[in-house]
Amino acid sequence: MTHEDAGHYKKKHPSDREPKPEVADAVKRKGLNGEISCAAAHRIAEDTKTPPLEVGFTIDCLEIRLTKCQLGLYGYRPQKRVVKPAETVSDILRDAIRDALVAGRLSCKSAWEIAQKHGISKMDVSAACEAVGIKISSCQLGAF
């Protein structure tokens, strides 16, 4: 959604779809000042055994802004995104990223899996992607 759409997140979903009450309650408890972090949203998904995309839908329905993407791609102030290109990218990491590409992009979930498999931070994976010109797509929460 564009900046102009901020605060109207529910519009991107079918009007007849409603969030699950237990997920909505958890989001309301974790949200602060109309915002919730990516990490908090993923904890809700784990705690409620709900897919992250469903939690993201609930966040949108409650018109809550997602902040602090764990890949550094959105939700930081004042610059919005904080990920910077890595100075160097190992051949092993570059190959892992390239092997996981779908239509030339790396999914958010694949970025997380690569980070876990290689014992590095999620932000390190996104920094490597920035360095080699690969876009990350398909946010697990539906933010992008």
Tens digit of each residue's pLDDT (9 = 90 or more) over 6-52 = 668 888 887 888 999 999 999 999 999 999 999 999 999 999 999 99
On the question of pLDDT at 142 being above 90, the answer is yes
Of 132, 120, 126, 143, residue with least CA distance to 94 = 132
Total count of residues recorded for the chain: 144
Question: How confident is the model over 76-99, as a mean pLDDT?
Answer: 96
- Which tens digit of pLDDT belongs to each residue from 130-140? 999 999 999 99
pLDDT beyond 60 at 74: yes
Cis upstream peptide for 78 (omega within 30°): yes
Q: What is the pLDDT of residue 47?
A: 97
Q: What pLDDT is recorded for position 41?
A: 98
**Quick one: pLDDT at residue 2?**
41
Q: Residue 1 pLDDT > 50, yes or no?
A: no
Q: Report the 10 Å Cβ neighbour count for 80.
A: 11
Return the closest-CA partner of residue 143 out of 62, 23, 38, 46: 38
- Contact by Cβ (8 Å): 83, 126: yes
pLDDT band at residue 126, thresholds of 50, 70 and 90?
very high
Which is nearest to 64 in space by CA: 23, 21, 9, 20?
Answer: 9
Average pLDDT of the residues of the chain: 94
pLDDT number for residue 6: 60
Count of helices and strands (H, E) across the chain: 6, 4
- Looking at residue 82, its pLDDT comes to 97
